[in-house]
Amino acid sequence: MSTRVVFSLRIFWFCRQSNSKLNHPKFLYSCLSEFTVCRKLGNTTINKKRQTPAEYCAETLRKCDYENYLATLLLPQESRSAAMVIRAFNTEIAQVKDMVSTTHAGAMRIQFWKDTLEQTFQGQPPQQPIALELARILKYQKLTKVWFQRMVDSRESLFSETGHQTIEELEDYAERSVSSVYYLILQSMGIKDLQCDHAASHLGKCQGITNLLRGVPFNASRGRVYLPTDVLIKHKVSQEQILQGSQEKSVIDVVYEIASLAHQHLETARSFKKDVPPAARVVFLPAVACESYLKKLQEAKFCVSHPQLQQRNGRLPLILWWHKLKRTF
């Protein structure tokens, strides 16, 4: 029996064991079919020689931002393409820092994306898959260019030698780089709701700060420290300690304080849940992955280099799907 069939049967069994009213056979069958398709998509290797721009976006997200890829697959089908290109765009510019060896080369790459945005919104995209797919989406959906620009500008700030001076600067960075993604996805779904915007703002900050913590070991290996300077000074931690992967109590305290801030934003985002339209809650499924990482970090006693934190959560697809059924995040 194939892995996909076994996985699907396990999902069906899981639902049948639940005492909730979700046990209606037709409802279970439709949900099972939807997730089986998502599972299939997640395991498909795309032939690069035949890749369409849409496939390129999906593959970029699957390879580089797997958790958000899974959450995007669970969006309504009519909204999936727009969300995929929005997230692929953000993923692509997030990698600029790691693709170049000099600040000058990074500036040129960032300028390329600024020019690409202008040309794409003018209906003349360059022959770049993400730009071509975005141009296609823009023909039938209105997306605000300023949110894309905020994403690009936030990554440009990372080329500064000073990094994040204060924890407020870090929150602002997370707002521009991640919350902007949620604003665009909500816009692509035709959702205009103040409570959704508040939830998007706080979840974006939570996810941006969580990403910063997750990236500490990798960035340290590249000689980079993005932890807020004011928090380092407060706990008398030097950048050299971070670069060396120190596990001293003062370093743990730095991580704890920043992780606590991420958790506060997560709880604030969830506090708007009752006011967020049920159809919009699926947009905020990445909150589940954020919570999972923060719990693991706590279990690892806030040691960001703990091996447990480097392992992929194999249960995440099922957990995300179950949260979608319950219309929660």
Lowest mean pLDDT among 16-20, 216-220, 240-244, 298-302: 16-20
Beta-carbon contacts of residue 250 (< 8 Å; ≥ 6 apart): 235, 236, 237, 241
Handedness of CA 217, 219, 225, 228 (dihedral sign): negative
Same domain for 164 and 281: yes
Determine, yes or no, domain membership for 114. yes
pLDDT given at position 226 = 93
Average pLDDT of the chain is 86
Residue at 162: amino acid letter = T
Q: Is the pLDDT of residue 327 over 60?
A: yes
DSSP 292-311: HHHHHHHHTTT-TT-GGGGS
The larger pLDDT score, comparing residue 304 to residue 51, is at: 304
2 and 122 inside one domain:
no
The answer to whether residues 134 and 123 touch, using CB atoms and an 8 Å cutoff, is no
- Evaluate whether residue 154 is within a structural domain: no
Q: Are residues 102 and 234 in the same domain?
A: no
Instruction: Identify the band that residue 102 occupies on the pLDDT scale cut at 50, 70 and 90.
Output: confident
Q: Give the percent of the chain with pLDDT over 70.
A: 84
Indicate whether 2 pLDDT > 60. Answer: no
In a domain, 127, yes or no: yes
In a domain, 71, yes or no: yes
Asked if 165 and 292 sit in the same domain, the reply is: yes
User: Is 218 in the same domain as 177?
Assistant: yes
* pLDDT tens figures, 144-186: 999 999 999 999 888 766 679 999 999 999 999 999 999 999 9
213 with 310, same domain?
yes
- pLDDT at residue 305 tops 80: yes
Q: Is residue 151 part of a domain?
A: no
Same domain for 38 and 85: no
Q: Does pLDDT of 88 surpass 60? A: yes
Considering the domain architecture, whether residues 7 and 70 belong to the same structural domain is answered as: no
Among the ranges given (20-29, 239-248, 259-268), the one the predictor scored with the smallest mean pLDDT: 20-29
Look at the chain and report how many structural domains it folds into.
Answer: 3
Among the three residues 113, 144, 175, which one is the final residue of a domain in this structure? 144
Residue 310 lies in a domain: yes
Instruction: Indicate if 181 and 320 belong to the same structural domain.
Output: yes
pTM: 0.84
Domain that holds residue 246: 160-329
Assess whether 96 and 239 both reside in one domain.
Answer: no
Higher pLDDT, 17 or 142: 142
Answer yes or no: do 322 and 304 share one domain. Answer: yes
Position 161 scores a pLDDT of 61
pLDDT digits (tens, 9 = 90+) for 185-226: 999 999 999 999 999 999 999 999 999 999 999 999 988 999
Q: Give the tens place of pLDDT for each residue, 23-60.
A: 454 444 444 444 444 444 444 334 446 789 999 999 99
**Same domain membership, residue 325 and residue 283:** yes
Q: Let me know the angle formed at the C-alpha of 151 by 147 and 156, rounded to the nearest 5 degrees.
A: 140
Domain-ending residue, one of 90, 111, 144: 144
- 297: domain CATH number is 1.10.600.10
